[in-house]
Structure 1
Amino acid sequence: MSTADKRRRGRLGIGVIGAGRVGAVLGAALRAAEHAVVGVSAVSEESHERAANLLPGVPVMEIPDIVERSELVLLAVPDDALGSLVSGLAATNAWQAGQLVAHTSGRFGTEILEPARRAGAIPLALHPAMTFTGMSLDLTRLADCSFGVTAPTAVLPIAQALVVEMGAEPVVIDEADRVNYHLALAHASNHLVTITAQSTQLLKDIGVENPDRLLGPLMRASLENALASGEHSLTGPVARGDAGTVSAHLQEMAAQDSANLRDTYRALSLATALRAIDRGLLSEERGKAVIDALSLDEGQ
């Protein structure tokens, strides 16, 4: 099939820059939607293996060669590397007029692609709001995933269509809101991992062999309730105003010399108490008792 025929059918020649967990999976998802992945860049042994598993038969190429041969360039690189990559390619006149350039960063919108846009390329920001393993199971998980999408109004339907083709749901995010959007996702996802790891370690330290059996049902139910009912689903000693229990928790952590855990517990307990008071879920009197217990511990 000729290039013209592919364009008429909406099929694109796609180049994937960065065969990390995200890039390889999204490349595979676009390939499953009958786009042609013309090349992928890979540096580490892990990325080479990932490319071979998820994009079999796709040649590993140098970045300038990928850009030269692609109608859509997918930039799946770390946030801090994105700007220099785009401007560096612009300095060598690599970008082409009419070429689609999409990045997968949550932090940035399309402004960071300005050097490519000045060369005539069409900028898109497509951020999948999910964590990736870099394995084929991620492809099925895309069906429950949303993407934060930012693009110029005229080409926003293209960005949305690409997301839909990958089986996911596009959510439009304004350029000015990208950092706030990414903050929300990082706070929810990354800190959940930290809390889970800390709680798992506490249970292991007292001899519980399978902490996931205790934490899994509890955390899944808490998350589902929180998503459904917000803070009205809040339970536990802070929500009840049990200052004595909060103090006992803090004393136990002090005895274990767990400064990192105490800091996390104190900060989250204080935030929880203040939000519960503000929303009328916790009385001022009981809330003050919890806050006083947390403040007393901080001064020790």
Structure 2
Amino acid sequence: MTPRPRHRATIGLIGAGRAGGSMAVLLAHGGWAPSVLWSRSLGRRRTLARRILRITGRSPACRSRPADVAREARILLLAVPDDALAGMAVELAAACPHMSGRVILHLSGVAGLTPLLPLRERGASTGSLHPLAIFSSRVPPPDLLLGAGFAVDGQPRARSVARSLARALGGRPFSIDTRLRPLYHLAASLVANDVLAIFHLAHRALCKTGLQEKEAHQVLVHLLQGTATALAQTTAEAALTGPVSRGDAGTLARHLSAAPDARTASIHRLLSLVLVDMACTGDRMGEATARRLRHLLAASPGQGRNRR
């Protein structure tokens, strides 16, 4: 069934990378399809236009310059890299001196509203809309953002539009103090990105035991899914299992000795210290056990088979 538009405003998109392209597809499913777009890559422009056409029955117009999109759109989404955001705002402000009545939202998680100041000075209502989601494909499932958090910020009208877009995608909008955006983005990166680094180290270690790469990947993914399932039902502290939760210093010592390199041992040590702090909440671990584990984990920083 073709989604019916939920608005009359022309939506424009600048940037059709993984995040921008995914958001455009999801907005099309939600009845807020972009009708004009630009990307540095002509191929991406055309591919995204075809995807939106298949969803809505109407193809968005592809423009050759970002300023052309800004002139036509009443709601403009900037899906450019963080480092390019300020430059894009300056470029659009120079090309479009009269932007009264327009809403311009960037999709950056870490940037505040300062990069959009040149557009605000031209009369636009500026804000931000950042989905807490992983865009691993440019063709995301329609329900990818169902229940996802959206950090929204901006001037009143821009913030209202951002909240409407988030809700149209099935998300839960919330506000973050602009000064705390880097901290917010750090929290998101720890879960969305740093977990992958831990998975990579675990996969390398498991392959050294004789498992084939594919098999090691599959069993670790299943284990990770179990952790996520537990977290969906309770707190991280209550979901804690393993040697730290049992106060098993001997097993931790064996882990550190078996680590294939000093970096893996160091990361395991630092994370285990955090786990000790977690286990101490709610009286799950006594002070004597905690001291013993902390002493073990603070000692011998060069452990691991292959020191670097």
Describe how 1:48-59 pairs up with structure 2 within 5 A: 48=45, 50-56=47-53, 57-58=59-60, 59=62
Structure 2, gaps ≥5 residues long: 54-58, 304-308
Flag the 1:153–1:96 CA change in 2: closer, same or farther, 3 A.
Answer: closer
Describe how 1:232-247 pairs up with structure 2 within 5 A: 232-247=238-253
Residue 64 of structure 1 pairs with residue 67 of structure 2: yes
Flag the 1:46–1:189 CA change in 2: closer, same or farther, 3 A.
Answer: farther
Note if contact 1:12-1:35 (Cα within 8 Å) is conserved in structure 2: no
Match 1:80 to one of 80, 83, 93: 83
Secondary structure (helix, strand or coil) at the match of 1:142 reads: coil
For residue 159 of structure 1, report the CA deviation from its aligned partner: 1.7
1:14 aligned partner, one-letter code: I
Distance 1:41 1:155 in 2: 21
For residue 109 of structure 1, report the CA deviation from its aligned partner: 3.4
For residue 95 of structure 1, report the CA deviation from its aligned partner: 5.9
Residues 45-74 of structure 1 show CA distances to partners (whole Å, capped at 9, x for unaligned) of 773465255334332431111111111111
Distance 1:183 1:46 in 2: 33
Note if contact 1:16-1:39 (Cα within 8 Å) is conserved in structure 2: yes
For residue 94 of structure 1, report the CA deviation from its aligned partner: 5.1
Tell me the equivalent position of 2:13. Answer: 16
For residue 14 of structure 1, report the CA deviation from its aligned partner: 1.6
Match 1:193 to one of 192, 196, 200: 196
What is the number of residues matched between the two proteins? 290
Match 1:282 to one of 273, 281, 285: 285
Secondary structure (helix, strand or coil) at the match of 2:44 reads: helix
Flag the 1:94–1:16 CA change in 2: closer, same or farther, 3 A.
Answer: farther
Note if contact 1:67-1:94 (Cα within 8 Å) is conserved in structure 2: no
Flag the 1:50–1:205 CA change in 2: closer, same or farther, 3 A.
Answer: farther
Note if contact 1:276-1:282 (Cα within 8 Å) is conserved in structure 2: yes
Describe how 1:255-266 pairs up with structure 2 within 5 A: 256=260, 258-266=261-269
1:37 aligned partner, one-letter code: P
RMSD over equivalenced CA pairs, Å: 2.4
Residue 26 of structure 1 pairs with residue 19 of structure 2: no
Give the TM-score normalised by structure 1.
0.86
Residues 17-71 of structure 1 show CA distances to partners (whole Å, capped at 9, x for unaligned) of 1101111122223333444533322234773465255334332431111111111
For residue 237 of structure 1, report the CA deviation from its aligned partner: 0.9
Residues 218-266 of structure 1 show CA distances to partners (whole Å, capped at 9, x for unaligned) of 222222323432202211111222111111111111xx3x122122211
Residue 270 of structure 1 pairs with residue 273 of structure 2: yes
Match 1:147 to one of 147, 150, 153: 150
Match 1:225 to one of 230, 238, 246: 230
Note if contact 1:38-1:66 (Cα within 8 Å) is conserved in structure 2: no
Flag the 1:172–1:208 CA change in 2: closer, same or farther, 3 A.
Answer: same
Give the TM-score normalised by structure 2.
0.84
Structure 1, gaps ≥5 residues long: 1-5
Distance 2:102 2:207 in 1: 53
Tell me the equivalent position of 2:137. Answer: 134
Flag the 1:44–1:282 CA change in 2: closer, same or farther, 3 A.
Answer: farther
Distance 1:278 1:207 in 2: 38
Tell me the equivalent position of 2:258. Answer: 252
Distance 2:50 2:250 in 1: 54
Match 1:213 to one of 208, 211, 218: 218
Distance 1:284 1:45 in 2: 62
